């Protein structure tokens, strides 16, 4: 049995629809009830941090590296965990993490180390009851499929694609909010862009 033909344009429409629906759900759920908005809580954590460390595995990690770059453009002291120049995390710092399952061993261990050092932890995950979420100062729960969910119920996309895409969008929203708050112009940010490319 062959699969039905689908064009790139049809796939883009599907992905856009899933992203729109997921973004609407994240916004609706983050603003619900009397609890503080987790998106605002993450923004406030990053804004008040002495330094920001980011850690994620696989595609989630790549998405967080994009966020790290933008935060560096803003002038924040940012480090990607695992790079040889990454210093020790300490009190006053924030660890920004993402793990769909919230159980990825290396990410949970990094969060435990950060917590032991007195750092605060911001988590993006699909699993509110996960070990990673339990360590968080602020947690954003994304109602997307995690990578082992092959049911197609949360997303027609493969594995954790929708979760990874929303990490990119949340990272850009975080940057944009901080940038807007700062009042700094785009021309003032530009000199921080890489010039050794």
* Catalytically annotated residues: 164
Kindly state the tokens that stand for 132: 């990673």
- DSSP-derived secondary structure for the chain: -PPPP--HHHHHHHHHHHHHHHHHHHHHHHTSSSSPPHHHHHHHHHHH-SSEEEEE-HHHHHHHHHHHHHHHHTT--EEETTSTT-----TT-EEEEE-SSS--HHHHHHHHHHHHTT-EEEEEES-TTSHHHHT-SEEEE--S--TT--SSSS-SSSTTHHHHHHHHHHHHHHHHHHHHHHT--HHHHGGGS----
CA 48 – CA 83 distance, rounded (Å): 23
């Amino acid at each position: 049995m062959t699969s039905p033909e689908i064009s790139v344009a049809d796939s883009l429409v599907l992905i856009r629809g899933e992203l729109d629906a997921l973004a609407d759900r994240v916004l609706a759920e983050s603003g619900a009830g009397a609890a503080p908005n987790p998106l605002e809580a993450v923004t406030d954590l990053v804004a008040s941090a002495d330094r920001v460390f980011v850690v994620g595995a696989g595609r989630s990690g790549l998405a967080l590296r994009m966020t790290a770059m933008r935060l560096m453009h803003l002038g924040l002291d940012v480090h990607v965990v695992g790079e040889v120049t990454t210093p020790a995390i300490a009190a006053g710092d924030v660890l920004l993490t993402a793990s769909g399952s919230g159980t990825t061993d290396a990410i949970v261990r990094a969060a435990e180390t950060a917590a032991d050092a007195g750092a605060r932890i911001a988590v993006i995950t699909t699993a509110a009851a996960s070990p990673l979420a339990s360590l968080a100062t602020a947690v954003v729960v994304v109602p997307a499929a995690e990578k082992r969910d092959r049911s197609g119920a949360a997303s027609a996309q493969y594995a954790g694609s929708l979760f990874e895409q929303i990490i990119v969008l949340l990272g850009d929203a975080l940057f944009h909010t901080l940038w807007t708050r700062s009042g700094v112009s785009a021309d003032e940010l530009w000199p921080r862009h890489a010039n050794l490319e």
